Amino acid sequence: MIRERTSRHPTAVQLGVMVGHPPPPELRVGLHNWQQAPFNRWSFRHTRQVIPTANVSRGLRPVWELPKVTTALGDIRFDSAGGVEITLADFLNDSWTDGFIVLSNGSIAFEAYQNGMEPHSRHIAMSVSKSITSLVVGALVGKNLIDVNELVTRYVPELSGTAFDGATIQHLLDMTVANAWREDYFGDTTEFWRLDVACGWIPPRDGAAPTLFDFLKETRQDGQHGEEIAYSSLNPDLLGLIAERVADAPFPAVASRELWAPMGAEFDADLTVDPAGMAVADGGYCIALRDFARIGQLFLNGGAAKGHQVIPARWIDECRSAQRRPFHRTSYGADLPDARYHNQWWQLDGRTCAMGIHGQMIAIDHEAQVVVAFVSSQPQPNETHLRQEQLRIVAAVCEAASRSNKAGGRIEGSDGLSQGGGDPK
């Protein structure tokens, strides 16, 4: 079912962001403000109007159709992190959610859009992109084009003497490269802005590397590779570059060939590129909501879609086999104390997740056969309490689906009633 919902928070149109012919200067979106509230209410759905992007084509193959079933998921209630019982609708209205979808046994059980988001809208994925990049790398590993045990410098010899000297592809995948550069969104000493400059996500600044490749060459090692998780967006960006070199094609074309087209994506995707045209593989995918869900279903299916293998099943199994490692120089250890991380995917409470700042998430529950995806425009990069609420929703949806599967019926809400849904306005 599809629902157009009214959010408690003002929409981009209600705020007047990019409204008018032309919009007034104070409500225009550009590189200087697109990641900031309230401008992100518009820009996260119109990223290619702000930043250069490359097309990730779905090609001409048939769409992977997702059947629809009628459920009462909108009535599900759960205890919030504050101990108050709320409904799914309450959360969607209060959390700057732009789109929310649930697949149960491969069918769309619930689908909601807010803030002007539509089924064809391409919403920025932020760090969910890292997990998507992992799937592309997995396809290349399956073709013996990449060896995860090989040194990074075999593929990119220009990085000898940098933080990546002595690191393997597996270190990149697991975020265990001992890089002195720290990924921190806040604090007086944060240098996260340097990455944004290199990506082309904010205007150039004096003293900052102008491109991702220049930034990679400036890094320095701090410690031993493989000992701790030092979360860094540079790692998947480098994976994208390595994929380009082994496939001898731009990364967006590689992603199209290895994943987007064979998966049967419904819409093309966008991928932001830096000033030199290098893909921002760590956070730059812009994707329609149902294609977020298809990524999750592909993972749930062991890498298969429409009856054929897209990503090697062995790669999917490996992604789920994460071991506990300490987190280093990052808030994730405190925010997600039981989390495991491997091959650019999170393991949380028995589920596989892809997560990005400002409220982007794909959650996959193999036991319940459920995929849940959120796209959002939360005001702050890391809203810990909102992420906790998202995970509580995922747990409640999966519990309802498990009950339904055992009973052989439809997913029901807390009041036991099923509901239909109308077309979006």
DSSP assignment of 355-421: EETTTEEEEEETTTTEEEEEEE--SSS--HHHHHHHHHHHHHHHHHHHHHHHHTS----TT------
What's the predicted TM-score (pTM) here? 0.93
CA distance 154 to 152: 5
Residues 6+ apart with CB under 8 A from 169: 137, 146, 147, 148, 149, 150, 152, 155, 239, 242
Question: Is residue 371 domain-shared with residue 397, that is, in the same domain?
Answer: yes
Question: Is residue 116 domain-shared with residue 201, that is, in the same domain?
Answer: no
Question: Is residue 229 domain-shared with residue 260, that is, in the same domain?
Answer: no
Residue 376 is assigned to a structural domain of this protein: yes
Please report, for residues 68, 76, 166, 397, 416, the alpha-carbon distance to residue 412 in angstroms, rounded to integers and kept in the order given.
15, 8, 53, 10, 5
Q: Is the pLDDT confidence value at 418 over 80?
A: no
Tokens read off for 336: 């997600």
Tokens read off for 153: 């410098």
Residue 33 is assigned to a structural domain of this protein: yes
The phi, psi pair for 229, rounded to 5°, reads -80, 115
Question: Is residue 124 domain-shared with residue 199, that is, in the same domain?
Answer: no
- Of 421, 396, 349, nearest to 88 by C-alpha is 396
Give me the pLDDT at residue 72, please: 76
The share of the chain scoring above pLDDT 90, in percent, equals 77
Question: Is residue 66 domain-shared with residue 207, that is, in the same domain?
Answer: no
Residue 423 is assigned to a structural domain of this protein: no
Tokens read off for 303: 């890498």
Residue 416 is assigned to a structural domain of this protein: no
Residue 243 is assigned to a structural domain of this protein: no
Q: Within 13 Å of residue 412, how many CA atoms lie on the same side as its CB? A: 13
Say whether 77 sits in a helix, a strand or coil: strand
* CATH value at residue 212: 1.20.58.710
Question: Is residue 201 domain-shared with residue 162, that is, in the same domain?
Answer: yes
Average pLDDT over residues 284-300: 99
Question: Is residue 76 domain-shared with residue 157, that is, in the same domain?
Answer: no
Question: Is residue 172 domain-shared with residue 279, that is, in the same domain?
Answer: no
Domain residues for 15?
2-142+250-407
User: Hey, how many other C-beta atoms are within 10 angstroms of the C-beta on 65?
Assistant: 10
Q: Look at the chain and report how many structural domains it folds into.
A: 2
Residue 121 is assigned to a structural domain of this protein: yes
Give me the pLDDT at residue 76, please: 87
Catalytic residue among 43, 104, 127, 377: 127
Question: Is residue 269 domain-shared with residue 362, that is, in the same domain?
Answer: yes
Question: Is residue 80 domain-shared with residue 226, that is, in the same domain?
Answer: no
Give me the pLDDT at residue 408, please: 63
CA distance 319 to 346: 9
* CATH value at residue 136: 3.40.710.10
Residues 6+ apart with CB under 8 A from 254: 136, 140, 243, 244, 247
The share of the chain scoring above pLDDT 70, in percent, equals 90
Terminal alpha carbon distance of the chain:
13
Query: Known catalytic residue: 104?
Result: no
